[in-house]
Amino acid sequence: MRWTPQRRLILDVIEATDGHVTGAELVDRCRAQDPETTPSTVYRTLRVLEELGVVQHAHGADGREEFHIRPAEAHGHLHCSSCGESWEISPADAAATVREFRDRLGFEIDLSHLSVGGRCARCRAVAGA
Ligand SMILES: [Zn+2]
Ligand SMILES: [Zn+2]
Ligand SMILES: [Zn+2]
């Protein structure tokens, strides 16, 4: 693939990002630097970068795609429905569940697509539950 200035800009924006970012946020950040950027260019470039292993997508609580920059390892996500925060589920956290599903159902869980909704410790404490 040829690195056109547009794609170069998208890569720069991604490199400057920490952790998770939605496609829409990336479009906004690219547009702040180059108003000509179209969402389709951003999403096309994200697909290519995912094939190259530079980014990996997961899904937020609402199913919307979130992108990770160079994920160190596959991980899942916990989403709190009260405060909207999210946390990572490490392979170690999920090991027992992954093993259980594989042994009992023959189902291999893709950790990068494990998103669990619920309530976090802080919100549960506030609610007194
Ligand atoms: Zn997906
Ligand atoms: Zn919470
Ligand atoms: Zn994550």
- In DSSP terms, 86 is beta-bridged to 79
- Cα 65 to middle of ligand 2, angstroms: 20
Residue 116: phi and psi, rounded to 5, are -120, 125
- Cα 66 to middle of ligand 1, angstroms: 9
- Cα 89 to middle of ligand 2, angstroms: 15
Q: In this predicted structure, what is the pLDDT of residue 114? A: 92
Compute the CA torsion angle 83, 65, 50, 17 (nearest 10 deg). Answer: -40
Q: In this predicted structure, what is the pLDDT of residue 120? A: 96
Closest ligand to the CA of 118: 2
Distances (CA, A) of 38 to 9, 34, 100, 112: 12, 10, 44, 27
| Among 86, 71, 72, 83, CA closest to 116 | 86
pTM score > 0.75 for this model? no
Q: In this predicted structure, what is the pLDDT of residue 129? A: 57
Q: What is the per-residue pLDDT across 99-112, written as a single tens digit (0 to 9) for each?
A: 999 999 999 999 99
- Cα 86 to middle of ligand 2, angstroms: 8
